[in-house]
Amino acid sequence: MSEQKNKKEDRKKQITIIAICILAVILGLLIYCLVTMKNNGEDKKEIAYTELVKEISDGTVEKVEMTVGSTSVKVKLKDVEEEKNAIVPNTQAFIEFIHDKMNDGIFINLEQKQPNILIRISSNLFSFLPTLILLALVVIMFKMQGLGDKGKVYDSETTKSKITFDDVAGLEEEKHEMIEIVDFLKNPKRFYDMGAKIPRGVLLCGQPGTGKTLIAKAIAGQADVPFISMSGSEFIEMFAGLGASRVRKLFEKAKKISPCIIFIDEIDAIGARRTSNSGAETENNQTLNQLLVEMDGFDTEETIIVLAATNRPEMLDKALLRPGRFDRRITIALPDLRGREAILNIHAKEKKFAEDVNLKSIAEDTAGFSGADLANILNESAIIATINEHDAITNKDIEDAVKKVTVGLEKQSRVVPERDKRLTAFHEAGHAIVSSQLETQKDIKEVSIIPRGVAGGYTMYRTNEDKYYISKTEMEEKLVALLGGRAAEKIVLNDISTGASNDIEVATNIAKDMITKYGMSESLGPISINTEQDPYELQLLGEKFGDAIGAEVKILLDTAYQRAQKLITENMDKLNKVADALLKKEVISAEEFQELIK
Ligand code: ADP
Ligand code: ZN
């Protein structure tokens, strides 16, 4: 479909909406006039309040009706066919009407000898009609606007709170990577003239609340360009066929206001791997296909950067990740101790704190918290302080806020309980201590107990990029280092956990490769078996050979585990020191580690 046609259609739609609105307003007014006229009609006689009271006491009144909110009551007299309208002279008179909640009626309190007369409350539908129509109109108008205008434009000129990189704490490397995008948005011509190709799509990967949206907004703010955002789930919740047209509209709008940023949150909702062409998935495929078309269809003059956020990059359709689409990926991890302190500092800016508050120690107590969690904690603490009528936020207020947020977090199993933290600390210390005793493994870069992905912690090694070959000794020592975590758990806590499952998997694969790929087994000799390529290879070699491979793999792993346990027992004091330091600081740098085991 051509762009012109789309524009025309949009305009037509707008005109129709306006016409409907005007018509409805006129209709509403007409009805309102009719109703008021009817009420003032001559066919109703009016009687004064005193007269009403008199008639009631005379016993000539059969029924009195009152409309909620109106000053008149409808009176039906006994033996009289016609109804009279009684005018209540002033609202004060209503005091004499007693509301009986039990029977949901109103009584007029007369002299005691008179029986109470019930006044039924009958709401006059007609008097409400205009209001109802107007209300319905407003709702419809909002709905219609929403349909045509789901992508919100935060124009950098109209947004007062302009978010820049200064509002994003930590994430220095991520921000650094984004600087070229900001430069490009500010001055695209320079890049084009140079013949440089700038990424069109950047995928921001990370858990919820790690600041993906924030950094996307900051790029827009930093470059002073509009920010159009939309959530992937918004594309698909609509009726069939609308997802694709929404994607088209979104990019159309972006082209109109370019240079700009498009931000698609939860892209996995549309970008999940395409499967069979059935039912709901077909709709999803259309949306995804449209997105792919749009990503490919940028002209050179259009300075648009598409940022997309997801927590599950592995779910995405491979087509989305191809060059020219989302070919750049930036992973945003949960903040470390320093990052958390920085985030707390940013969100503390506009708050009043008592002197006993130490944001650093709060950062220490909040391992595993995201930036959003930390912002939330400070906000909760301000609420708690207000409720407690404190002059400023106290440390206790913050501790209460942490607890309040933690309970919510534990459900999502994102906060590390103290017991798990201790286990992780000894596990990681085990890797580190064992490694430090092995010639090929001792180059440790960082030890951490901050959860990352599925792992509760990690021990990072320096990688030597000049290396081409790995020796048998190195592979054997790698096995020992990998099993060091499990060994420490067993010796210190006298129990083992599932935390080592990945280590064991990696170790087993290395051991298998040593025997079947690199021919490192003395007894089996230099042989390479690739059962993935040829499933019958092992059959060819015979059952006994298969058993022998299994036995060799087991020997490698058992030997490594024995060595790891021995190294742990020999270095218990160092292990304790490192584990303690981990519990306190969460992350230990290479230097700090060397200092600890000196
Ligand atoms: P995501 O898009 O990754 O789910 P958001 O960007 O929506 O996360 O983050 C939610 C809120 O958490 C932000 O608006 C901000 O207040 C806070 N936040 C998260 N990360 C940071 C950070 N690095 N610096 C400052 N505030 C942060
Ligand atoms: Zn481990």
pLDDT for position 95 = 29
pLDDT for position 62 = 63
Residues 317 and 442 in one domain: no
Q: Whose CA is nearest to atom 18 of ligand 1?
A: 371
pTM listed for this prediction: 0.50
pLDDT for position 204 = 94
pLDDT for position 578 = 96
How many Å lie between the centroid of ligand 2 and the Cα of residue 405?
A: 29
Residues 101 and 48 in one domain: yes
> Do 450 and 336 form a contact (C-beta atoms < 8 A)?
yes
Q: Is residue 413 part of a domain?
A: no
Query: How far, in Å, are 32, 88, 369, 448, 452 from residue 456 at the CA level?
Result: 68, 76, 13, 9, 6
List, by residue number, the catalytic residues.
428
Q: Looking at the 3D structure of the chain, how many domains does it have?
A: 5
The phi, psi pair for 445, rounded to 5°, reads: -100, -40
Q: Which amino acid does the sequence have at 429?
A: A
From the CA of 165, the nearest ligand is 1
How many Å lie between the centroid of ligand 1 and the Cα of residue 333?
A: 12
Q: Can you give the pLDDT of all 598 residues of the chain as single tens digits?
A: 344 444 455 566 666 777 776 787 778 777 766 766 655 544 445 556 666 666 666 666 666 666 555 545 666 666 554 455 544 433 333 324 444 444 444 455 444 333 444 444 444 445 566 667 777 776 666 555 444 444 444 333 334 348 899 999 988 888 888 888 899 888 888 888 888 877 789 999 998 999 999 999 999 999 989 988 888 877 766 555 677 888 888 888 888 888 889 999 999 888 776 654 445 555 567 788 888 888 888 766 678 899 999 988 877 888 888 888 898 899 898 888 889 999 999 999 889 899 889 898 888 878 778 999 999 999 999 998 998 899 999 988 998 788 777 654 333 345 677 888 899 999 999 999 999 999 999 888 789 887 755 567 888 776 554 455 789 999 999 999 999 999 999 999 988 888 888 899 999 999 999 998 889 988 888 888 876 656 677 777 777 888 889 999 999 999 999 999 999 999 999 999 999 999 998 889 889 999 999 8
**CATH code: domain of residue 86:** 3.30.720.210
Please choose, from the candidates 208, 226, 257, the residue with its C-alpha nearest in 3D space to the C-alpha of residue 159: 226
How many Å lie between the centroid of ligand 1 and the Cα of residue 288?
A: 27
Pocket lining: 210 vs ligand 1, CB cutoff 6 Å: yes
Q: Which atom of ligand 1 is nearest to the CA of 265?
A: 2
**CATH code: domain of residue 284:** 3.40.50.300
pLDDT for position 500 = 83
Residues 202 and 250 in one domain: yes
Q: Is residue 411 part of a domain?
A: no
From the CA of 486, the nearest ligand is 2
How many Å lie between the centroid of ligand 2 and the Cα of residue 555?
A: 21
Pocket lining: 376 vs ligand 1, CB cutoff 6 Å: no
Please choose, from the candidates 388, 479, 464, 465, the residue with its C-alpha nearest in 3D space to the C-alpha of residue 431: 479
Q: Can you tell me the distance from the alpha carbon of 243 to that of 235, in angstroms, rounded to the nearest whole number? A: 5
pLDDT for position 402 = 80
Pocket lining: 308 vs ligand 1, CB cutoff 6 Å: no
From the CA of 174, the nearest ligand is 1
Pocket lining: 229 vs ligand 1, CB cutoff 6 Å: no
**CATH code: domain of residue 361:** 1.10.8.60
Pocket lining: 226 vs ligand 1, CB cutoff 6 Å: no
pLDDT for position 94 = 33
Please identify every residue whose CB atom is under 5 Å from ligand 2, which is an ion: 485, 503
Domain boundary among 302, 332, 362: 332
- Residue 88 CB neighbours (<10 A): 18
> Do 578 and 327 form a contact (C-beta atoms < 8 A)?
no
- Residue 434 CB neighbours (<10 A): 30
The parent domain of residue 36 ranges over 3-40+136-145
pLDDT for position 43 = 44
Q: Which atom of ligand 1 is nearest to the CA of 335?
A: 23
Residues 389 and 251 in one domain: no
Pocket lining: 378 vs ligand 1, CB cutoff 6 Å: no
Pocket lining: 330 vs ligand 1, CB cutoff 6 Å: no
pLDDT for position 89 = 39
